[in-house]
């Protein structure tokens, strides 16, 4: 038996996974336990969960794989230092981080006192881990693999060919040039300073026009070889120390751009400043330029390898708008994006890279669902509800157990069809940033006012951000202009024009939807719920948004119940337990 613990540490979205004999047993982000979004540092709680799920002690783990290799890419590093002479503070900061990464064994010993640490530690280069996280668990025997993100191990992109359980990395883009850094700089410029806010720009973009595309082309330029480079005079990440840190676990860093960007684009937006059409046009222009560079790179990769399957990873692979256009804008016909495409997924990639180095041949694990986090037994749910019964009584809630799954789904679907907001807590927690039907809030996609209701009752987020549909897989072609498997909600497709008026709550301003396809094999209970809604309404989907309120997605029953009680959610379904407010509906 080969047991491998995969880790993403000392960066945003710290995470851990456990792979045993080539099969993923458990995977979870540290934020789900710490309750701080994008928690950075060492993922001790996630590691403890993975070990418990596998029934192992730390001493049973034979190998530890971390998605960082401080010894990688030394040629580009030395050339950069010689040519640019970055500040001494920046160099000292990098050396400090390097020491942390190299001390994983010591960190494990501190986090698990009294337990034996005998595992061999493997350092897997950042982008090699990203590539492995998608290509080695994709449903392809042979595919091109592309990783694009901000930075990791002095690189911002890499690509290669995956076959036979190996990813042969051939080329890359190195610091200081980065599509991820470009997109993050514009995100900061538009008044979204928090780590991971890029999705807000992606959601804002359809409200604008690409009127500033020429300026964006000045910021990031394509090269004859299909790659890209930044016009560095507008940026400061390559010369100054940006103070990346994680105070209390929350990652943060300074502006990537300098004042010259304001000369090009006008004044930056402050976080509390109203959005104007200019801001929307900036978002659209940035998205358009990102797509130009991204698709040019992908077409270059396709020409190099001549395969029609593509595995995408890296933080930029969370750009679901671009992902949904790959089959239309490039020569690739099949596209796989893993559930945790960003840095959390590096833990998974590092583990599978090590597995395939150690074990050649044999069956290959395919990741076709994302339910690898903590679950709760019926007994744990009952104990949780009993402990909070007085609060539920005070809130005027009824509590009942509906053991028959068919009845449970039929009744819940009826509540959704009546316009009620339902918290749906089932099975094991999802791996990755998306709620995929086990820690979801589900609503009626037919109601034009549902976005307003959700934002007023629960989410309290920007009004321009869209909500996503969970769709029965067999119904996708009837409702969307592309027919594809999207189990992880990582692609946006145009909704058929004749269907848009029927599902306004999940139709974005540009007529698109970020769908999740649901099959009975992947998630039987969630499929049955959507099927019940379909039978009652003729619409084979529900609105699905993450079960949270400006916090990480709920993990345990206690967090789900607390979220229900402090918001105006109508119904909470915890396993077989149905909790309903007296004034629901």
Q: Domains of the chain (ranges plus CATH)?
A: 3-138+342-358 (3.30.420.40), 173-243+250-336 (3.30.420.40), 378-581 (3.90.870.20)
Mean pLDDT check: name the lowest of 30-39, 246-255, 297-306: 246-255
Q: At what angle do helices 104-111 and 88-102 cross, to 10 degrees?
A: 60
- Start-to-end CA distance of the chain, whole Å, equals 53
In the prediction, which pLDDT does 271 show? 95
pLDDT, residue 458, reads 86
The pair of structure tokens assigned to 236 is 């400061």
What are the pLDDT digits (tens) for 270-288? 999 999 999 999 999 999 9
What's the pLDDT at 248? 67
Pairing of strands 155-163, 166-174: antiparallel
Identify the burial level of 249 via C-beta atoms within 10 angstroms of its C-beta, where 0-12 means exposed, 13-18 middle and 19 or more buried: middle
What is this structure's pTM? 0.94
Nearest to 439 by CA among 459, 461, 423, 460: 423
At 62 the pLDDT is 97
List all residues 6 or more positions away from 193 whose beta carbon is below 8 Å from its beta carbon: 252, 271
- Find the helix or strand (DSSP H, E) in which 158 lies: strand 155-163
pLDDT at 579: 98
Quote the distance between the C-alpha of residue 316 and its chain's center.
10
The predicted pLDDT at position 250 comes to 82
The closest alpha carbon to 126, from 162, 105, 154, belongs to 154
Distance CA 318, CA 179 (A): 13
The predicted structure's pLDDT at residue 363: 85
DSSP state, 420?
A: -
Instruction: Give the model's pLDDT for residue 73.
Output: 73
- Say yes or no to pLDDT of 96 above 60: no
Residue 129 in this model has a pLDDT that exceeds 90: yes
Quote the tokens at residue 391. 């609060």
Q: Which of the two residues, 90 and 48, has the higher pLDDT score?
A: 48
Residue 244 pLDDT grade (very low, low, confident, very high; cuts 50, 70, 90): low
Q: What is the average pLDDT value for the chain, to the nearest integer?
A: 94
Token digits for 400? 């009942």
Rounded Cα gap, residues 321 and 300, in angstroms = 20
What is the pLDDT, as a whole number, of residue 336?
98
pLDDT tens track for 518-546: 999 999 999 999 999 999 999 999 999 99
Nearest-angstrom CA–CA distance, 192 and 204: 12
Handedness of CA 42, 46, 49, 51 (dihedral sign): negative
What pLDDT is attached to residue 533? 98
What is the distance between the alpha carbons of residues 395 and 117, in angstroms, rounded to a whole number? 49
Nearest in space to 279 (alpha carbons), one of 269, 271, 289: 269
Q: Check pLDDT > 80 for residue 553.
A: yes
Looking at the predicted structure, is the pLDDT value of residue 245 above 90?
A: no
């Amino acid at each position: 038996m080969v047991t491998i613990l995969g880790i993403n540490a000392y960066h945003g979205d710290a995470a851990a996974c456990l792979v045993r004999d080539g099969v993923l047993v458990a995977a979870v982000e540290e934020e789900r336990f710490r309750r701080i979004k994008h928690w950075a540092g060492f993922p001790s709680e996630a590691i403890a969960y993975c070990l418990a799920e596998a029934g192992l002690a730390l001493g049973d783990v034979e190998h530890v794989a971390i998605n960082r290799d401080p010894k990688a890419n030394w040629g580009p590093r030395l050339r950069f230092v010689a040519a640019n002479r970055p500040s001494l503070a920046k160099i000292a900061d990098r050396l400090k981080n390097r020491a942390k990464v190299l001390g994983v064994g010591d960190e494990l010993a501190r986090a698990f006192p009294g337990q034996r640490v005998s595992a061999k530690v493997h350092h897997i280069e950042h982008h090699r881990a990203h590539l492995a996280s998608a290509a080695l668990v994709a449903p392809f025997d042979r595919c091109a693999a592309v990783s694009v993100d901000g930075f990791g191990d002095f690189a911002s992109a890499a690509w290669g060919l995956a076959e036979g359980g190996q990813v042969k990395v051939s080329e890359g883009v190195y610091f200081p040039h980065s599509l991820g850094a470009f997109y993050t700089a514009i995100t900061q410029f538009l008044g979204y300073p928090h780590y991971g806010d890029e999705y807000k720009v992606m959601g804002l973009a359809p409200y604008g026009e690409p009127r500033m595309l020429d300026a964006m082309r000045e910021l990031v330029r394509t090269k004859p070889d299909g790659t890209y480079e930044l016009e560095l005079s507008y940026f400061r990440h390559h010369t100054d120390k940006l103070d990346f840190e994680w105070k209390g676990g929350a990652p943060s860093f300074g502006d990537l751009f300098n004042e010259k960007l304001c000369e090009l684009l006008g004044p930056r937006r402050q976080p509390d400043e109203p959005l104007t059409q200019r801001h929307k046009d900036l978002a659209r222009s940035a998205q358009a330029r990102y797509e130009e560079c991204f698709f040019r790179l992908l077409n270059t990769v396709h020409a190099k390898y001549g395969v029609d399957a593509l595995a995408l990873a890296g933080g930029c692979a969370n750009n679901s708008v671009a992902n949904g256009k790959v089959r239309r804008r490039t020569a690739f016909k099949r596209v796989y994006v893993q559930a945790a495409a960003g840095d959390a997924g590096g833990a998974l990639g590092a583990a599978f890279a090590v597995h395939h180095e150690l074990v050649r041949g044999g069956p290959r694990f395919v990741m076709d669902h994302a339910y690898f986090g903590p679950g709760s037994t019926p007994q744990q749910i009952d104990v949780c509800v009993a402990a909070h019964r007085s609060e539920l009584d005070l809130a005027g809630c009824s509590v009942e157990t509906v053991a028959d799954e068919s009845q449970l789904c039929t009744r819940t679907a009826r509540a959704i069809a009546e316009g009620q907001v339902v918290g749906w807590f089932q099975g094991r927690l999802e791996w990755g940033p998306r709620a995929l039907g086990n820690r979801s809030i589900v609503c009626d996609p037919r109601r034009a006012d549902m976005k307003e209701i959700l934002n007023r009752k629960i989410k309290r987020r920007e009004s321009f951000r869209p909500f996503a549909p969970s769709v029965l897989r067999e119904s996708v072609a009837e409702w969307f202009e592309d027919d594809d498997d999207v189990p992880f909600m990582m692609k946006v497709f145009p909704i058929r024009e004749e269907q848009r008026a029927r599902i306004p709550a999940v139709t974005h301003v540009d007529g698109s939807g970020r769908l999740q396809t649901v099959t009975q094999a992947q998630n039987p209970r969630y499929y049955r719920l959507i099927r019940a809604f379909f039978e009652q309404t003729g619409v084979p989907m529900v609105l699905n948004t993450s079960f949270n309120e400006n916090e990480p997605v709920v993990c345990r029953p206690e967090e789900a119940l607390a979220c229900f009680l402090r918001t105006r959610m109508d119904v909470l379904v915890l396993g077989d337990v149905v909790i309903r407010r007296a004034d629901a509906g």
